[in-house]
Structure 1
Amino acid sequence: MNGTTLDEMRMIVAVEEHGSLTGAATALGVTQQAVSQRMRALERRWSLSLFTRSARGTRLTDHGTLVAEWAATMVGHAEAFDSAVASLRSDRAAHVRVGASLTIAEHLVPGWLVTYAADPSAAHVELTAVNSVTVAQRVRAGKDDLGFVESPDLPDGLASLVFMRDEVVLVVAPEHPWARRTSVSPAEVARTPLVSREAGSGTRLTLERAVEAITGLGTVVAPAAELSTTAAVRATIMAGGGVGALSARAVRDDLDAGRLRAVRVDGPPMVRPFAAVWDPRRRLAPGASRILEIASAVS
């Protein structure tokens, strides 16, 4: 199968945003025929029906809507990358190495980089998006100048600054039986296999810690699936794949649009810190200090 291009992803996102092939074509500055041909080619390539076509027009299928959500995430990453590249100046040797946990990398870092790139002396930013445990390991090893983590436990041996608090929420698709519940007990959550991030994820650790603290259980049941990105967890839950825990920030739009439903877990909210971390043995470079200043001010 040929790789999907960024232009194709932008095109299907435009169809979802504007509600029709014609609207997408107008927004992209191409012909309606060009959009229609490209979308039919995608359907053939993927062996997947993306649209329903009728005399009243063309609309996305459920699968098409899901693919458009995934594509929007990838287009957002590409735009964040373009912003980072725009920060290059004549001194190409100047760069800042930043590691960020995935929720922070997806939902906060792009805005920080746009602000940072506006500085006349901005250096090139090398961003690595991994889970919180790996971010701390990279900072300790000197691979990154500055890290951002979302774990309930701040890493040992590193200087840290908490700049925000974030809530982890339990979410399901609207058709899931739990969507009709007013709440669920921590014990029920503990024995339910969840769609989850991998071990080392701050989101997963926050949920497990909260449930174990309330129930007194030593551990929760093994996940139904372990996925490496927030976007993959969201998409799987929306497709009816089960129950999962995600940052409230990451699912805010999905909750507002009704694509996901939040399920209250009996007990206190599951809150964890968002923190910047760095090696106190090494002086923060000016670029890293500026990004930390921006993160603390605009988050």
Structure 2
Amino acid sequence: MLVDPGQLRLLALIERHGSLTAAAHALQLTPAAVTQQVAKAERDWQMPLVTRGPRGATLTAAGALLASHGRTVEEASDRAEAELAALLGHLSLRLRIGTFQAAALHLLPPALTALRHRHPAADVSVMDVVSGRGVDEISAGHLDVAIVASWGKPLAPPPHLRAHSLLLDPMVVVLPDDHPLASRPADAELRLEQLRNESWVSILAGHAAREQFHDAAREAGFTPTVRFETESYDVAQALVGTGIAVALVSRLALTHAPGTTHRELAHPRPYRQLYAVTRTDASLTPLAGMLIELLHDVARDITATWEAPLRLRNS
């Protein structure tokens, strides 16, 4: 026969408490339910296990033998409960974050500072993860939150993941500070076709940002002359500072590198959308939800600084 650990534990509780009623209370069952379970155990084992009397219940020799194994089951159950509680307590304080460089520099730090003040004991780790890998890292269970970007197209994660929209990050033109177009007012918007004859620093071919740039140039009526390729907006801006090219850079990634200035693009302007990706069921990591709220707050503050000059210009 198959041994039912629940029956072993029940006998151990009857032995400990000396009555069916007390054992029922320990199991949060009714005395009638415990009586039925004892009767079933005696049928399964085909022998008497419990002797009922006016002063409670005692175990037969067979019942006592089974109860000795029941104590092992109960001890293992108690350990499992304690270890699970410890694990859940650890998970409730753990937060594994993946993010790309611009978000790590400008979006994440204020949110982490606020999170640390609310939960000083939080176990936080941050990994440098390119946007194209963030969703996969969440799916694999390696991260709790991934900050990713999508260039011009909405992010569509699989059903078990959720994408929380954070902000629209518009592209701007970074120019050498002695470029003829840099002499225009700082709030003057440029049209991409005004830069059709320039040499460009661009993100590496095959990246979504590069595809977006070529699409925007094509819509502006020209094919860009890309002289330099890089995977970093920081490197692109440093090269622009030498005066040898111009670049299309996200607003969030602006470094104001020496020798450079930037100008907004006239509408329609290219942009990237920033998201925080989590698992749909993030109940074991409550800090993930709190971080999302804080990232929304930071994103609103950043966007407000971008929009303030526009409001002043249009007032």
TM-score by length of 1: 0.56
* Gapped regions of structure 1 (runs ≥ 5): 1-89
Asked if 1:196 is matched to 2:202, the reply is: yes
- TM-aligned CA deviation for residue 273 of structure 1: 2.2
Instruction: Letter of the 2:298 partner, please give it.
Output: V
Determine which of 234, 241, 246 is the counterpart of 1:243.
Answer: 246
Q: Which aligned pairs between 1:223-238 and structure 2 lie closer than 5 A? A: 223-238=226-241
Identity of aligned residues (%): 24
- TM-aligned CA deviation for residue 247 of structure 1: 2.0
* Residue in 2 that maps onto 1:15: none
Determine which of 155, 159, 164 is the counterpart of 1:161.
Answer: 164
* Residue in 2 that maps onto 1:120: 119
Distance 1:216 1:279 in 2: 42
Q: Which aligned pairs between 1:264-275 and structure 2 lie closer than 5 A? A: 265=265, 267-275=267-275
- TM-aligned CA deviation for residue 245 of structure 1: 1.4
Distance 1:98 1:239 in 2: 35
SS at 2:118's partner residue? coil
* Residue in 2 that maps onto 1:207: 213
Closer, same or farther: CA 120–186 of 1 in aligned 2, 3 Å? closer
Instruction: Letter of the 1:165 partner, please give it.
Output: L
- TM-aligned CA deviation for residue 294 of structure 1: 0.8
- TM-aligned CA deviation for residue 266 of structure 1: 5.1
- TM-aligned CA deviation for residue 201 of structure 1: 5.6
User: For the aligned residues, what is the CA RMSD?
Assistant: 3.5
Closer, same or farther: CA 208–114 of 1 in aligned 2, 3 Å? farther
CA offsets 1:185-230 (integer angstroms, 9 cap, x no match): 5456577552223457665455344344x3478xx55743232333
Q: Which aligned pairs between 1:1-299 and structure 2 lie closer than 5 A? A: 95-120=94-119, 122-151=121-150, 152-153=152-153, 154-157=155-158, 158-180=161-183, 185-186=191-192, 193-198=199-204, 203-212=209-218, 214-215=219-220, 221=224, 223-251=226-254, 254=256, 259-263=259-263, 265=265, 267-280=267-280, 283=283, 285-299=285-299
- TM-aligned CA deviation for residue 94 of structure 1: 5.0
Preserved contact between residue 139 and residue 145 of structure 1 (Cα < 8 Å): yes
Closer, same or farther: CA 289–267 of 1 in aligned 2, 3 Å? closer
Closer, same or farther: CA 94–200 of 1 in aligned 2, 3 Å? farther
Instruction: Letter of the 1:110 partner, please give it.
Output: P
Count of paired positions: 204
- TM-aligned CA deviation for residue 244 of structure 1: 0.9
- TM-aligned CA deviation for residue 169 of structure 1: 0.2
* Residue in 1 that maps onto 2:73: none
Closer, same or farther: CA 200–137 of 1 in aligned 2, 3 Å? farther
- TM-aligned CA deviation for residue 126 of structure 1: 2.0
* Gapped regions of structure 2 (runs ≥ 5): 1-88, 300-315
Instruction: Letter of the 1:161 partner, please give it.
Output: H
Larger Rg: 2
Closer, same or farther: CA 286–199 of 1 in aligned 2, 3 Å? farther
Distance 1:210 1:142 in 2: 36
Preserved contact between residue 195 and residue 223 of structure 1 (Cα < 8 Å): yes
CA offsets 1:76-100 (integer angstroms, 9 cap, x no match): xxxxxxxxxxxxxx96995322111
